[in-house]
Structure 1
Amino acid sequence: MRGIKAILKRNLTNFFRNKMQLAFALFMPIFFLFIFSFVMKSAAAGVDQPINYLISGIIIMTVFQSALSNSTNIIEDMSMGFMKEIIVSPVARWQISIGQILSSTVIAALQGLIVIIIALFMGLKIDVLQFAEMLGVMITVGVTFSSIGLFLATLAKSSTTFQLMIMVFTMPLTFLSGAYIPTTVMPEIIRPLIYINPLTYTTSIFRYITLKMGNLSTEALVKAGVAFDINGLVIKPGFGFAIILAMGLLFFVLCVKQFNKADFSQVKTFNPHAG
């Protein structure tokens, strides 16, 4: 457990010391908060709580993108030779991988919390129970996509390749999730892509909590784009959350296994004096 704590502490320290990275990590969600709140409120026309509706999507996308992109740290550790040094230490590989996942999760959840705090001053209204449930979802999403990010990073072994993989992975998933554009207004031809998108169910459960939709009927949830009727099979927010949990467990196991057998000796160490 000492290895996990050491990796967690190191990555959190590095993140908070890098003021520029922290500033840019928060800039986009804050920018979108202002844009959606003051310019694009009409996008949530017909929704009882338009501020909550729009902001909830921004918050969970912040957590998702942060959890996924924070895995870049492992690529930097590889290129700088740090990973080779720690691999030969008494710390077990599985502890290193879990430490990386936990640190990415904590950073992603903290960024989500900061966005929530800012959103409270912009009209977001939640109670203590909602906050606790939102935090639980953010942690689950953080673990799931941190695991996916680290899994992809151990396969890529190159910052350029990894960034390309992240871009290809995040862009379509984000815009097909309903976080920014309601799935109910999207064309039928792309509905299959929406249904297989894990972020669709992530956004669904988060919005379900934020808008307090527990008293709505199944038909109303489907109409609001929070539940999904797939040829008679209705996936409610709870079922969708179970899908995310299963996906997180799967990639957590795959990530640890892949990390255990990864050959870091093939990764070239960064040499600033190389010609």
Structure 2
Amino acid sequence: MKLLRHGAPGAEKPGLLDADGVIRDLSGVIPDLAGEALSPDGLAKLAALDPDGLPMVSAATRLGPPVAGTRNFVAIGLNYADHAAESGAAVPKEPIVFLKSLNALAGPDDDVAIPPDSRKTDWEVELAIIIGTQAKRVSPEAALEHVAGYAICNDVSEREWQMERGGLWDKGKSADGFGPVGPWLVTSDEVPDPQDLAMWLEVDGRRMQDGSTRTMIFDVRTIVSYVSNFITLHPGDIITTGTPPGVGMGMKPPVYLKPGQVMRLGIEGLGVQRQKTVAG
């Protein structure tokens, strides 16, 4: 099942994508894709619906982040061995955890505004985990029971702010709109192996990243368990899990985004995002 939220920013309604690729409105069934709706029982009720009986939504409608009620937008750094190598960093012994501001959340095709004082805005295609039920100090063996599904995240990053301005990575990761998520939440039953998904990103039609979740250092179950030992995870929380090689920072010489460019990125089975960069 592919779940989504459609409409203007701040006024999104819940929906789903039917087997023919048509958006169907769920606002007459649930208030939003949040809380109980993301639990196993909630998802089972949505899966039992006949999409043909739901109102159709124009394909031209804007898509927002596919879940609501997010309390924690968690990110994992240097989680691909080949990306750590291109960054000149040692492979971490434990997951590197940081937070993205909730202000960074954006729809999958929203413009990405480059801040006026940014010199090193970069791209990162990532697999995002969507939490469905509360997870607090869960074991790796039980971790996937708390996952509602998966989505694409572009972990947009300002490298100077992240690496050269002191302090934590959060400041380089949290500008408004620096976390497009979607287009859909694809439920776990449609992603039998999250550790075997091809992923890619293009800038102006040039393939920059071409990788696979197979090269993750810490897998999904390990990440959910690990993070839940430090942060109680709630339905609608998002964990974005790191990026494969091909980021602008790793190129020689480095290449960064500027206004007027187009990013396209996708993960096998999870759809495609498209963002235009604009001056912030």
Q: Which has the higher strand share?
A: 2
Give the structure-1-normalised TM-score. 0.25
Q: Bigger radius of gyration, 1 or 2? A: 1
**Richer in helix (by share):** 1
TM-score, with structure 2 as normaliser: 0.25
